[in-house]
Amino acid sequence: MHQFFDRSIEYLKGVGPQRAETVNKELQIFTFGDLLQHYPFRHEDRSKFYKINELQPDLPYVQIIGVFKSFKTIGVGRKARLVGVFADDSGTIEMVWFKGIQWIQRNLTIGVSYVAFGKATLFNGKFNMAHPEVEVQTEKNTKGGYLQPIYHTTEKMKKKGLDSRFFSKAMKVLLVEAVNQIQETLPDHLISQFKLVNKKTAVVSMHFPRTAQHYTSAQNRMKFEELFFVQLRLIKLKIARTEKFRGAVIDHSELLTQFYENHMPFELTGAQKRVIKEVYSDFRSGQQMNRLVQGDVGSGKTMVAFLSMLIAIGSGFQCAFMAPTEILAEQHFKGLQEQAKPLGIHIARLTGSTPKSERRLIHEGLMSGVITILVGTHALLEDKVQFKKLGIAIIDEQHRFGVAQRAKLWTKTKDVYPHVLVMTATPIPRTLAMTLYGDLDISVIDELPSGRKPIQTKHFFETKRLEMFGFVENEIEKGRQAYIVYPLIEESATLDYKDLMDGYEGITRRFPNYQISIVHGRMKAEDKEWEMQRFLKGETQIMVATTVIEVGVNVPNATIMVIENAERFGLSQLHQLRGRVGRGADQSYCVLMSGVKLSTDGRKRLRTMVDTTDGFKIAEVDLELRGPGDLMGTRQSGVLDLLVSDLVQDGEILKVARVAAQDLLKEDPNLELPKHQMIKAHIDSFSKNAVNWGRIS
């Protein structure tokens, strides 16, 4: 249908097979369609001409019109440079070339009027321009009023003359024909509702805008389109799933009420209540729940999970609760057991280290329905683990589990799909969540239990180590406990391990009167567990550890978190670690230790930690510093293969596009209305290629 855009670029005038091959290899541009979407990364302003006496050192690239008065070559051999004196009616400036001297001199003529384009720099009190672009003045290039597109190329391409100008020329040739082939992909009502420019205009202006304003309008249109189609697809996926996948109807809340009235240890926060209501309403809907609960560390997600499970159990269903590590699974197991005891609920635990004999009993208990809650690690995902009637699967700290693993939980029981509740303490900026988890419903616990004192965070340079130790000692004397955490990065594991051991030694020497625990990845699981337990019971005062304690561990009496080499941690990890303290009623502290030399990003990370405890703000900064791809290893997810949009900057457009997609699918879920046929066609055309949402053809 769109053969034009599938045509190979070698057939474009001025390209040919050899150049095409280089472009294929270097930039993966194969077809007319690909080329058209090779948008410039910036434009140079060719809309104004400067007089030589108007030049300032801080101006960007500028263009001037004038004539060469003279040329001379200064120096010899490799040091030779060509200097041309260029003049207009206001003054003169020296143009300097260090390379290609002979060729340039041959091609420039004294007395002919040229347009020169370059950066004017002040040298010895006089302006000069090194390697300017020079063109004979014509009517066309004097009219001005245009923005020159600058295209990304590679060094290899530049050597072969395939530079930005090459693309600019090729694009002009291509556009002449392409313009008549470009089809509108958005219906009129959206175009007029959001005052968008049409697709033809937008594509042309992406490359050759007449003014900066035109360029902005073009970008807005292309971004809207891209984000709109991403959202449309995600929401369609969700609709398809809710239609196809019936969920168990879970609607008996008596057990929940019984617990709530007789055993509830504290008052729920408003946010917790709201999220439980949301879950309950999903339970009753008859459709499978797929809900993400985002709540900062310490916001009380476990209680929300437990109460949700009580509704399921009270309605005759079983529950699975999956945690990312053994330590966490263990802690959840104990905590839930404690709470479930008065209700007579049977809880079992399954991890990698569960002995075989015990496993068999668990498998049987699950199939017979005797076990109502199974807590564990990813061992829960093994095929052997099957439930009689699984109603809900809860995944704690989602980012450690892949999407495929999430889907695996659906196969754990016959007849119905279990409801899925994913809990994460890594706040994701809304824009990213809408794209990454656009197919999940999102609940937010944005309130901490009352009475918590915000953690105070300090940053100490290495030189203030003694001060830090003094501070730690002070707190321990008050009866509190401290964590001291060392980074452990895969690539430098041996060095890091040495750091940890040296640190441990230093600490034992500094605090001879305290009991000190150590936990790291090279220890056996049971030894780790034993040390954790000692710390938890208050038998040791200091816990020296690598990041194994990062997630979930709950020791309310621990009020100090010292993070060594804090500059080496990412923001979300720092935030997670800090979340290990501040869990009791006492004032808690986080101390970030770092070397004196910090990178700009490193400084910003530490500054952010000192300035705020708000996980969402931290996530925003993290997104800004790292970009969406690196955040949480989402690079491969495909969803984020965005061509023109930027999730950091285009949050507003994204919101609007998502609402537009929702409204449209509400009116016409299967895209059957005549006015939506262009959308349907567009989706069908790119679902074959899956990723590129803003595709031309």
Q: Which helix (H) or strand (E) holds 394?
A: strand 390-396
Which partner in Mg ion, ligand ADP, none is near 554 (CB below 5 to 8 A by kind)?
ligand ADP
Which partner in ligand ADP, Mg ion, none is near 481 (CB below 5 to 8 A by kind)?
none
Q: Which helix (H) or strand (E) holds 309?
A: helix 301-314
Query: Shortest gap between Cβ of 579 and ligand ADP (angstroms)?
Result: 6
Query: Shortest gap between Cβ of 423 and ligand ADP (angstroms)?
Result: 7
Query: Shortest gap between Cβ of 334 and ligand ADP (angstroms)?
Result: 12
Instruction: Compare residues 295 and 651 and give the one whose CB is closer to ligand ADP.
Output: 295
134 secondary structure, DSSP code:
E
- Closest alpha carbon to 399 in 592, 619, 691, 561: 619
Within 10 A of 21 (CB to CB), how many other CB atoms are there? Answer: 12
Q: Which stretch binds ligand ADP (CB under 6 A): 101-109, 300-308, 513-521, 635-643?
A: 300-308
Locate 21 and state its tokens: 């091959």
Instruction: Compare residues 300 and 487 and give the one whose CB is closer to Mg ion.
Output: 300
Instruction: Compare residues 552 and 582 and give the one whose CB is closer to Mg ion.
Output: 552
Instruction: Compare residues 301 and 575 and give the one whose CB is closer to ligand ADP.
Output: 301
Locate 533 and state its tokens: 């337990």
Binding pattern to ligand ADP, positions 415-454, x when CB under 6 A?
----------x-----------------------x-----
Which partner in Mg ion, ligand ADP, none is near 628 (CB below 5 to 8 A by kind)?
none
Per CB under 6 A, 400 contacts ligand ADP? no
Per CB under 6 A, 554 contacts ligand ADP? yes
Instruction: Compare residues 31 and 588 and give the one whose CB is closer to Mg ion.
Output: 588
Query: Shortest gap between Cβ of 335 and ligand ADP (angstroms)?
Result: 8
Could you give the CA distance from residue 148 to residue 154 in angstroms, rounded to a whole number? 19
Residue 255: helix, strand or coil by DSSP? helix
Instruction: Name the CA dihedral angle for 354, 358, 363, 368, rounded to a multiple of 10 degrees.
Output: -140
| DSSP character string of 111-129 | T-EEEEEE-EEEETTEEEE
Instruction: Compare residues 550 and 650 and give the one whose CB is closer to ligand ADP.
Output: 550
Locate 10 and state its tokens: 């070698």
Binding pattern to ligand ADP, positions 199-228, x when CB under 6 A?
------------------------------
Q: Which helix (H) or strand (E) holds 658?
A: helix 651-667
Query: Shortest gap between Cβ of 295 and Mg ion (angstroms)?
Result: 8
Could you give the CA distance from residue 397 to residue 659 in angstroms, rounded to a whole number? 28
Could you give the CA distance from residue 692 to residue 196 in angstroms, rounded to a whole number? 21
Query: Shortest gap between Cβ of 328 and ligand ADP (angstroms)?
Result: 10
Instruction: Compare residues 324 and 694 and give the one whose CB is closer to Mg ion.
Output: 324
Query: Shortest gap between Cβ of 304 and ligand ADP (angstroms)?
Result: 8
Query: Shortest gap between Cβ of 552 and ligand ADP (angstroms)?
Result: 6
Per CB under 6 A, 615 contacts ligand ADP? no
Query: Shortest gap between Cβ of 379 and ligand ADP (angstroms)?
Result: 21
Binding pattern to ligand ADP, positions 78-117, x when CB under 6 A?
----------------------------------------
Query: Shortest gap between Cβ of 512 and Mg ion (angstroms)?
Result: 35
Binding-site ranges for Mg ion (CB under 5 A): 552
Could you give the CA distance from residue 474 to residue 495 in angstroms, rounded to a whole number? 31
Binding pattern to ligand ADP, positions 256-295, x when CB under 6 A?
----------xxxx--x----------------------x
Query: Shortest gap between Cβ of 337 and Mg ion (angstroms)?
Result: 16
Cβ burial, residue 376 (10 Å; 0-12/13-18/19+): buried
Instruction: Compare residues 187 and 335 and give the one whose CB is closer to ligand ADP.
Output: 335
Query: Shortest gap between Cβ of 296 and ligand ADP (angstroms)?
Result: 7
Could you give the CA distance from residue 615 to residue 426 in angstroms, rounded to a whole number? 7
Locate 341 and state its tokens: 């005891």
Within 10 A of 490 (CB to CB), how many other CB atoms are there? Answer: 6
C-beta nearest to ligand ADP: residue: 300
Query: Shortest gap between Cβ of 332 and Mg ion (angstroms)?
Result: 8
| DSSP character string of 531-597 | HHHHHHTTS-SEEEE-GGG-SS---TTEEEEEETTGGGS-HHHHHHHHTTS--SSS--EEEEEE-S-
Instruction: Compare residues 435 and 576 and give the one whose CB is closer to ligand ADP.
Output: 576
Strand order across the 347-350 sheet: 347-350, 373-376, 318-322, 390-396, 419-424, 290-295, 441-445
Instruction: Compare residues 315 and 576 and give the one whose CB is closer to ligand ADP.
Output: 576
Could you give the CA distance from residue 216 to residue 198 in angstroms, rounded to a whole number? 13
Which partner in Mg ion, ligand ADP, none is near 658 (CB below 5 to 8 A by kind)?
none
CA dihedral sign, ordered 237, 238, 243, 245: positive
**Which of 52, 204, 235, 297 lies at the binding interface for ligand ADP (CB under 6 A)?**
297
Query: Shortest gap between Cβ of 343 and Mg ion (angstroms)?
Result: 21
Size of the site for ligand ADP (CB under 6 A): 17
Residue 610: helix, strand or coil by DSSP? helix
CA dihedral sign, ordered 253, 256, 262, 265: negative
Q: Which helix (H) or strand (E) holds 482?
A: strand 481-485
Which partner in ligand ADP, Mg ion, none is near 303 (CB below 5 to 8 A by kind)?
ligand ADP
Per CB under 6 A, 303 contacts ligand ADP? yes
Locate 190 and state its tokens: 């959206």
Give the β-pairing of 390-396 and 419-424: parallel
Locate 128 and state its tokens: 């000069």
Which partner in Mg ion, ligand ADP, none is near 394 (CB below 5 to 8 A by kind)?
none
- Closest alpha carbon to 568 in 544, 597, 539: 597
Instruction: Compare residues 132 and 552 and give the one whose CB is closer to Mg ion.
Output: 552
Binding pattern to ligand ADP, positions 319-348, x when CB under 6 A?
------------------------------
Query: Shortest gap between Cβ of 331 and Mg ion (angstroms)?
Result: 9
Could you give the CA distance from residue 306 to residue 84 in angstroms, rounded to a whole number? 80
448 secondary structure, DSSP code:
P
Per CB under 6 A, 301 contacts ligand ADP? yes
Per CB under 6 A, 583 contacts ligand ADP? yes
**Which of 66, 84, 300, 376 lies at the binding interface for ligand ADP (CB under 6 A)?**
300
Instruction: Compare residues 15 and 304 and give the one whose CB is closer to ligand ADP.
Output: 304
Instruction: Name the CA dihedral angle for 423, 428, 434, 438, rounded to a multiple of 10 degrees.
Output: -30
Residues forming contacts to ligand ADP in the complex (CB under 6 A) are: 266-269, 272, 295, 297-303, 425, 449, 554, 583
